[in-house]
Amino acid sequence: MGSRREWCSGCGLQLLVPTDATAVRCVVCQAITRFPYPPPPAAPFVYGGSSYCSRPPPPLSPLASAFGRKRAVLCGINYYGKPYRLKGSINDVKCMNYFLLNKMGFPPDSVLLLSEEETNPLKTPTKRNIRLALKWLVEGCQAGDSLVFHFSGHGTTEPDYDDDEVDGNDEALCPLDYETEGFIIDDEINGTIVRPLPYGAKLHGIIDACHSGTVLDLPFVCRMNSWLCKVKYREGYYIWEDQTPREIYKGTSGGLAVCFSACDDHQLSEDTTAFTGSKVMTGAMTYNFIQAVQNEPGLTYGRLLNCMRNAIRESKSSGGLRLNGPIASILNKLVFTSNNSSGEPQLSSSEKFDIYSTKFIL
């Protein structure tokens, strides 16, 4: 059965529907649209209101093809005007956008970039827009698809109220308007982009934020060079640590979800100029992720993780990697005087696999 693209009569989102469908329910606003659906009368678009433009707003991105699609959501938030402002997050998503388009073969119309520099109100990284973007990311996903969610900004932790976290805390991302609208917690992220992932599809999360180790709520975390590895195996080996304290399923619907995070759940990440050799700020993990993949085609997940960790360790040991911003003096003291706070990139997954034989492919 074929498919076609139609517009939701409620929110204007582009929907993929079967060719012979006469009605469809929107995955975002739950409105039912019946076909044929005539274009609405001319009227100015009112964001967040009931009015809409003479034709539906431009789609977040048209679907690239029927099979083997690449699609990405990139969110960069500097929190302009706030005392906790960052300086490298928007640079991060610009770099990631260039990397995906020019190095990884993502079609230009399949990458949705949300940042404070966007003039389109639908593309600012508010909580509502990030939620819509994540739902769009997996809409119509099928075998062969490659999805990417990249976030650069602040992360935090919240008390866990449903008893599904081994450390008693949910991890969360901080959207632009989190002070009024709240955080986006890992339970929601998992339910939105991990659980629906079908067999044969792959999702990569690349999260450059504090407290981001398990922010996709994936069940397995790769522990490298841990005490248990040293005892049971030898230096340089790894184990997959199960992060589900009881019988709660956090996996996919058959696909594979993998996440690279800037640091563990209890750690902080860095916003730095150490790697660019200039005044240009970037996230330490985002920069080294891109550099490693570009410099060594065909590398494995284990090799990629080690490349990022080694580069950050070398920069820390040389004194080049420091936190920046209004609260830099406080955070630098925390990060560089406490072993528990100093962040290193982490790897988590919806299933166990051999990180040293499995090639990294976007």
Any idea which residues carry the catalytic annotation?
154, 210
CA atoms within 13 A of residue 242's CA, in its CB half-sphere: 6
Q: CA nearest 185: which of 203, 204, 172?
A: 172
Cα separations in angstroms, 66 against 69, 91, 147, 153, 271: 7, 32, 14, 33, 39
Question: What would you report as the CA-atom Rg of the chain, rounded to the nearest whole angstrom?
Answer: 21
Structure tokens at 349: 């997954």
Helix, strand, coil % over all residues of the chain, rounded to 5: 25, 25, 50
Task: Please tell me whether residue 36 adopts helix, strand or coil conformation.
Answer: coil
Q: CA nearest 61: which of 138, 144, 143?
A: 138
CA atoms within 13 A of residue 132's CA, in its CB half-sphere: 24
CA atoms within 13 A of residue 342's CA, in its CB half-sphere: 13
